[in-house]
């Protein structure tokens, strides 16, 4: 809990007090030749008293690793917050709902800070506040059993009300935790209302007036559409602000956040361009184009320590980019585990994915039987739409020696698959960023991807993978077969594996870009 105290209180007066003393000294140091004794002395003095005023950043999100995860959003919140905090320039805090699915091992460590009542339209609801510090980041959890004591995170009829309560609570707890952020960084539609409420209800109060909102879109497909009838009764938005959230005769929370925030971003530069286009924007392209001057695209990273083939304890054997010999052990044991023939030279193509249409599964279902005529093994892991789950299960029954369907979500098995396969297929129709292609690379497994969103930005043909441009099943098959043919050239393939495994997907670069965006917003 050491980081609980805000730096503002202590650093502000210090900053003001030292300003006079440091300014002339710094100027003198700049003028004097670098070698002169005076210069060295003065520079030292200046650096000794240099005020450290960290920027205060508050992430607002509906999930974060290691506490609760349904998808890539959680990994980004967990690892980006840690990376920004590690750079040392920001005091980073995160607010999450206290879902009952958060494991007891964590809940037991949370400390209770206090409780308030949160007013939303005619409701007045209990809001408990818990705190936990991890890797230099302070996490707050909003407790309300009526809203969050349910299995899972989403998919309830009252999700709009649940996340309205959550978003309103984020603003209401600020006086209790004594933290008014410089930047409130809201992620996806579940946190959109925090940016909207800031503009409609809070920014007129002195403590809130300097808070800037950044809204990050992780997937534009999920926007938070609601009936306009709910405007005041459920969302507590005055009629005079209807124009901010109204879209196509409904409430659209993502649209509201884009209108209300100072800046918005998305998770890859390519996707930032794509969402201006009707094909990708799920109806929001006019709003994105209208606000294009506030938009940036920043490629996600991955937690490269968490995904490290040399240390990952989930693997059958560990290996490094300089010595891939144990990857063959991983492959052999994976084949055994999945009941596939243990053939060292047959390439394994894997997919670890939600089984939904935009992941490109229509392309896969179109040509998979053609592909299975080759000397190949295909492994699928994931859950999703019943039509794909059924299709893949049936395929596994008909091709038991070539196809393995694992209709589950299993973190341990996913790492065994990333490490034990040769080629990783990700033919998404759209992909805001995608983390799996980066994870596959880290394990020396070569991605075959469609050139869209973050797949385009992270995978370069022959540098660290294979790509195809059009959403076309036979274009995909052609490139897969090219990879399978290159796979036979062991020496060249090893070099490709090395390049993939050593591509820099760490958060270092992107966390710095976020930091400069925060600073830019505060100008």
Please report how the helices 490-501 and 473-487 are oriented relative to each other, as an axis angle in degrees rounded to 10.
110
Would you tell me which residues interact with ligand GLC (CB under 6 A)?
71-73, 76, 218-219, 267, 300, 431-435, 454
Q: Which residue has the tokens 């206090």?
A: 114
Instruction: Tell me which residue has its CB nearest to ligand GLC.
Output: 72
What minimum distance in Å lies between the beta carbon of 354 and ligand GLC? Answer: 9
Closer residue to ligand GLC (CB): 76 or 349 = 76
Given the complex with ligand GLC, which of 432 and 444 has the nearer CB atom?
432
Q: How far is the CB of 89 from ligand GLC (least distance, A)?
A: 23
3-state helix, strand, coil in the chain (%, to 5): 45, 20, 35
DSSP secondary structure code for residue 141 in this structure: E
Least Å distance, CB 418 to ligand GLC, is 16
Place of tokens 């037991």: 108
Q: How far is the CB of 331 from ligand GLC (least distance, A)?
A: 26
Q: How far is the CB of 454 from ligand GLC (least distance, A)?
A: 6
Q: Kindly provide the b/e burial profile for residues 39-48, where b requires at least 16 CB atoms within 10 angstroms of the residue's own CB.
A: beebbeebee
Distance from C-alpha of 51 to C-alpha of 326, rounded to nearest angstrom: 50
CA distance 23 to 504: 39
For ligand GLC, which is the closer residue by CB, 72 or 360?
A: 72
Least distance to ligand GLC from the beta carbon of 236, Å? 28
**Which residues are within 8 A (CB) of 480 and not within 5 positions of it... i.e. 6 or more apart?**
349, 371, 423, 425, 448, 466
| Distance of closest approach, residue 433 Cβ to ligand GLC, in angstroms | 3
Of the two residues 29 and 449, which places its CB atom closer to ligand GLC in the complex? 449
Separation between Cα atoms, residue 179 and residue 128, nearest integer Å: 16
Alpha helices (H) along 205-247: 230-233, 242-245
* Of residues 302 and 500, the one with the C-beta less far from ligand GLC: 302
Sheet strands side by side (includes 423-426): 403-406, 377-381, 348-352, 423-426, 446-450, 466-468
* Closer residue to ligand GLC in complex, CB, 72/97: 72
Collapsing DSSP states into helix, strand and coil, what is residue 249? coil
Of residues 67 and 197, the one with the C-beta less far from ligand GLC: 67
């Amino acid at each position: 809990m050491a980081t609980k105290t805000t730096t503002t209180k202590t650093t502000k007066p210090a900053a003001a007090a030292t300003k006079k003393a440091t300014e002339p000294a710094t100027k003198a140091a700049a003028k004097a030749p670098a070698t002169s004794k005076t210069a060295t002395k003065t520079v030292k003095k200046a650096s000794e008293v240099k005020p450290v005023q960290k920027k205060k950043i508050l992430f607002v999100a509906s999930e974060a690793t290691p506490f609760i995860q349904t998808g890539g959003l959680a990994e980004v919140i967990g690892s980006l917050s840690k990376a920004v905090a590690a750079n040392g320039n920001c005091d980073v805090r995160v607010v999450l709902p206290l879902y009952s699915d958060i494991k007891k091992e964590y809940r037991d460590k949370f400390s209770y800070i206090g409780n308030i009542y949160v007013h939303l339209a005619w409701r007045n609801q209990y809001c408990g506040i818990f705190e936990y510090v991890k890797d230099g980041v302070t996490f707050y959890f909003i407790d309300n059993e009526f809203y969050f004591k349910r299995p899972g995170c989403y998919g309830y009829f009252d999700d709009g009300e649940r996340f309205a309560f959550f978003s309103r609570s984020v603003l209401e707890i600020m006086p209790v935790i004594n933290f008014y952020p410089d930047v409130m960084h809201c992620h996806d539609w579940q946190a959109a209302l925090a940016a909207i409420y800031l503009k409609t209800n809070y920014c007129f109060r002195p403590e809130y007036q300097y808070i800037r909102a950044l809204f990050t879109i992780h997937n534009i497909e999920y926007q938070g559409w609601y009936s306009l009838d709910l405007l005041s009764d459920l969302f507590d938005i005055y009629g005079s602000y209807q124009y901010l959230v109204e879209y196509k005769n409904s409430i659209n929370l993502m649209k509201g956040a884009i209108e209300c925030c100072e800046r918005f971003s998305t998770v890859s530069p390519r996707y930032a361009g794509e969402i201006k286009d009707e094909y990708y924007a799920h109806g929001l392209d006019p709003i994105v184009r209208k606000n294009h001057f506030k938009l940036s695209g920043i490629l996600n990273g991955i937690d490269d320590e968490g995904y490290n083939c040399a240390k990952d304890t989930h693997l059958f054997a560990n290996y490094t980019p300089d010595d891939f010999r144990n990857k063959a052990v991983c492959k052999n044991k994976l084949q055994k585990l999945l009941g596939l023939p243990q053939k060292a030279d047959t390439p394994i193509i894997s997919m670890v994915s939600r089984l939904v249409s935009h992941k490109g599964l229509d392309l896969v279902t179109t040509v998979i039987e053609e592909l299975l005529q080759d000397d190949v093994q295909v492994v699928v892991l994931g859950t999703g739409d019943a039509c794909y789950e059924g299709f893949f299960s049936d395929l596994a029954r008909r091709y038991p020696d070539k196809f393995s369907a694992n209709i589950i979500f299993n973190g341990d098995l996913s790492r065994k698959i990333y490490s034990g396969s040769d080629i990783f297929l990700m033919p998404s129709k759209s992909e805001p960023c995608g983390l799996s292609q980066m994870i596959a690379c880290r394990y020396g497994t070569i991605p075959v991807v469609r050139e869209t969103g973050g797949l385009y930005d992270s995978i370069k043909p022959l540098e660290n993978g294979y790509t195809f441009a059009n959403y076309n099943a036979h274009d995909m098959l052609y490139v897969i077969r090219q990879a399978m043919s290159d796979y036979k050239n062991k020496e060249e393939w090893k070099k490709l594996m090395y390049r993939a495994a050593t591509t820099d997907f760490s958060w270092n670069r992107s966390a710095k870009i976020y930091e400069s965006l925060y600073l830019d917003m505060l100008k």
